[in-house]
């Protein structure tokens, strides 16, 4: 299956990131503090600079982690200085629910490339749109997977966001937090610019378009082979 949507790898495990960097299907990378903690990253800056010594020619997002907007700005300026391919992830609000609008505007005026993250509604995108359309390249990450986890169909929301940002070529929509490979197909069908997914999902890409009868037979063979190798008896 030929895809128009760009594929970004989401993770913070060095070997996995390098593996995906060497995959010609992967166009960029995203990380976040939760993934970094899960991967055992201790020194944030050391990890980031190490990765950037390898990944120099594809966009990669690193997130600020303060809850204070002045400190967020300081971190954002520092992170941005690490490379021309760096996008700084700014959460749509801080933990108190206060909008990051003013910070986003300041960073945009300073030429910082951003990835505005943790977005769940088109209204959130519309609120920050006036300060994005005059700035540098920016991603808006809408967490479609978490929207689905709330029992809400993410497709109408993602489609609405695409309509909202369509007039502005400097803004691209990221379909974030996919739960299955079919989300890649969905993102592609609605014209989403980017989908970011973990390696376990991206490694399933070769199954796209596979004949379902062949897939059925392969599944039967897998069950049989595993039972044989386990030496099961009844």
Which residues are marked as active site? 89
**73 burial class (0-12, 13-18, 19+ CB within 10 angstroms)?**
buried
Report how far residue 200's alpha carbon sits from residue 212's, in angstroms, rounded to the nearest whole number: 21
Report how far residue 106's alpha carbon sits from residue 74's, in angstroms, rounded to the nearest whole number: 11
Closest CA to 165 of 138, 136, 187, 195: 138
Separation in Å, CA 185 to CA 1, 23, 173, 207? 9, 19, 15, 12
User: In this structure, are residues 162 and 140 in contact, taking their beta carbons and an 8 Å threshold?
Assistant: no
**152 burial class (0-12, 13-18, 19+ CB within 10 angstroms)?**
middle
Between 69-80 and 101-109, two packed helices, what is the crossing angle to 10 degrees?
30
What contacts 18, CB < 8 A, 6 or more positions away? 54
Closest CA to 105 of 97, 96, 114: 114
């Amino acid at each position: 299956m030929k895809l128009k949507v760009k594929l970004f790898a989401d993770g913070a495990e060095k070997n996995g990131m390098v593996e995906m960097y060497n995959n010609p299907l992967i166009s960029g990378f995203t990380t976040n503090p939760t993934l970094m903690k899960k991967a055992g990253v201790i020194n944030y800056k050391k990890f980031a600079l190490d990765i950037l010594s390898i990944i120099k020619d594809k966009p990669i997002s690193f997130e600020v982690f303060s809850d204070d907007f002045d400190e967020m700005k300081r971190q954002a300026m520092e992170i941005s200085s690490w490379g021309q391919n760096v996008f700084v992830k700014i959460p749509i609000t801080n933990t108190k629910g206060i909008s990051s609008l003013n910070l986003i505007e300041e960073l945009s005026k300073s030429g910082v490339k951003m990835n505005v993250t943790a977005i769940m509604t088109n209204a959130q995108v519309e609120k920050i749109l006036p300060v994005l359309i005059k700035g540098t390249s920016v991603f808006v990450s809408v967490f479609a997977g978490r929207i689905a986890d709330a029992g809400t169909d993410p497709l109408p929301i993602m489609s609405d966001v695409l309509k909202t940002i369509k007039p502005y070529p400097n803004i691209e929509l990221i379909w974030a937090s996919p739960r299955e490979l079919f989300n890649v197909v969905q993102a592609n069908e609605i014209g989403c610019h980017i989908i970011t997914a973990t390696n376990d999902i991206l490694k399933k890409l070769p199954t796209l378009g596979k004949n379902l009868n062949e897939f059925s037979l392969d599944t039967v063979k897998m069950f049989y082979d595993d039972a044989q190798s386990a030496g099961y008896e009844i």
